[in-house]
Amino acid sequence: MVTSDGGEPRAGGTFELLRVDQTTWTIRDVALPEGDPRHIVAVITDLGAEGVQVVWTQPTHRPTRYFSPQAVLDEVTQPGRPASGSTRPVPIPHLPPLKRR
Domain assignment present for 56 = yes
Put the strands of the sheet holding 10-12 in their side by side order: 10-12, 15-19, 24-29, 40-46, 52-56, 65-66
Domain assignment present for 94 = no
Domain assignment present for 96 = no
Residue 1: the pLDDT is 38
Give the residue, 97 or 63, on which the prediction is more confident: 63
Count of structural domains, the chain: 1
Tens digit of each residue's pLDDT (9 = 90 or more) over 44-91: 999 998 899 999 998 888 899 999 999 999 988 876 555 555 667 777
Which residues span the domain enclosing 44?
A: 10-77
Domain assignment present for 93 = no
Domain assignment present for 29 = yes
Domain assignment present for 98 = no
Domain assignment present for 21 = yes
Mean pLDDT of the chain: 80
Domain assignment present for 87 = no
For residues 41 and 27, the answer to whether their CB atoms sit within 8 Å is yes
